[in-house]
Copies of this chain bind each other. A is one copy, B any other.
Amino acid sequence: MPARRMSEIPRVDPCADLACNAQLQPQAPGSFELLARHGDARSGRLWTAHGPIDTPCFMPVGTYGAVKGLDPDDLRACGSQIILGNSYHLGHRPGAARVAALGGLHRMMAWDRPILTDSGGFQVFSLRGLQRLDDSGVDYQTHFDGSRHRLTPESVLRTQAALGSDICMILDHCPPGDADAALMRQAVDRSTRWAHRAIELRPAILAPDQLCFGIVQGGTDLRLRRQHLAELAGLPFEGLALGGLSVGEPIPEMHATLAEIAPEMPAERPRYVMGIGTPHDLLAAVRSGVDMFDCVMPSRHARNGQLFTFAGRLNIRQSRFRDDPGPADPGCACRACRSHSRAYLRHLHEQNDPLYGRLATIHNIHFFHQWVGTLRRALRDGRFGEVSARYSDIITEHYLRGPQPSSSRSADGSEASREPNAAEAAAKASDTGAAS
């Protein structure tokens, strides 16, 4: 790790510039203000029923109604402005009606900031051999107990209405990363029909202050992506997402797709890339004009002993940290780094103490917010060119390593989300499964 570089990095407090901490006049849910631009990159502010989101924005994943081991205070202290839930998981455990009876997902979690929920489509399409698709929806067997259920453009909105999500994702057809051209085209056509259906149904199902985002498919086929984007851009979604990325394609192809497609997405609405990514992916996506990201990487890696730092990833299980009195990432202001040594974190990991998982997850999520916050601040301060260039080689050096990606598609696990790519797959391969 080139220690000399660490001192070059001025840290941004990820909580410092968040609009939710300021006394701003609330705007109508769905309002999206663009505050700064640099090339394709931009910074803005999206308003929801539970307050604003400053973009570019990283969203931690709380599949089942909790970002594993963290409570709302932890998340706020990390700088989280919005978190993700998954309606596939929550719809089955504890059940959407149950969440609604408990006052909705916000009340149940005691989280008063925005929540985005995925439709569950990605998860259902990743259940190998368990789905049957037709024009109006998809039948599937759950990975919980094998029971049979059906997702439709309507059912996923109903679930998200019950959860009380601030941002609801529509049902799309997510083909596997290695699908042939015919299936890709079929998926795009079906997704377009389902998107029209969602727009038609939405007024009757969602509350007026629940936002609804469309999802653009088409893999790395730029023509198909452009066609699908054109079809969805004409519909009154409050935002558009790119799905079907980071599902096993080579990183350069993913970044090329982002660089081509993201700038063509409607500029006046927020742009979300689902399931990415590494710190390096986030830089590429921000440069391409993407506003929102989610990834399980910081939380899952934390539990497996991987800590993100501005000098690269650190495996806390290594014996060299046994006597290391320094913080995980010198200069980091998260709770773990402020109070504890690498040696203590390693000791807690060795003892399987759940405090390890919490501190490590806090650190990694703080790191992601700090990294995206650094880019956001630079955009707003008019220094994005300088800052992104300065960090680009550090981030590339430290976070674009490891083998080229194999398929990392899988979503029937306990913390499912759209999956990240190469670095994630590499890290997974080295998992010992020691942390749960």
Binding site for B on A (CB under 8 A): 64-66, 68-72, 93-94, 98, 101-103, 108-110, 322-323, 325, 335, 339-341, 343-344, 347-348, 350-355, 357-359, 414, 436
Contacts and interface: CB of A to CB of B under 8 A. Distances in A.
B66 A98 contact: no
27 contacts: A64-B353, A65-B344, A65-B347, A66-B348, A66-B355, A68-B354, A69-B69, A69-B353, A69-B355, A69-B358, A71-B335, A71-B358, A72-B339, A93-B347, A94-B343, A98-B323, A102-B325, A102-B341, A102-B343, A108-B343, A108-B347, A352-B414, A354-B354, A354-B357, A354-B358, A358-B358, A436-B436
B351 A64 contact: yes
Given A108-B344, A347-B93, A355 B68 contact: yes
A340 B414 CA distance: 22
A91 to B, nearest CB: 13
Given A71-B335, A352-B436, 13 more contacts: A64-B347, A69-B358, A71-B355, A71-B359, A94-B350, A98-B322, A98-B343, A102-B341, A108-B340, A108-B341, A110-B340, A354-B357, A436-B436
Copies in the complex: 2
Contacts of A436: 352, 436
A101 B335 CA distance: 22
Given A102-B343, A109-B344, A322 B94 contact: yes
A414 B348 CA distance: 12
Nearest to A351: B64
Nearest to A344: B108
Contacts of A347: 64-65, 93-94, 108
A45 B341 CA distance: 33
A357 B348 CA distance: 15
B68 A353 contact: yes
Contacts of A72: 339
Contacts of A344: 65, 102, 108-109
A188 to B, nearest CB: 35
Contacts of A108: 340-341, 343-344, 347
A56 to B, nearest CB: 27
A93 B335 contact: no
A413 to B, nearest CB: 12
A333 to B, nearest CB: 15
A433 to B, nearest CB: 13
A354 B94 contact: no
Given A344-B102, A351-B414, A352-B436, A339 B110 contact: yes
Contacts of A66: 348, 351, 353, 355
A274 to B, nearest CB: 22
A61 to B, nearest CB: 13
A355 B103 CA distance: 20
A291 B19 CA distance: 50
Nearest to A354: B69
A354 B325 CA distance: 26
Contacts of A340: 108, 110
Which of A68, A101, A344, A354: most chain B CB closer than 10 A? Answer: A354
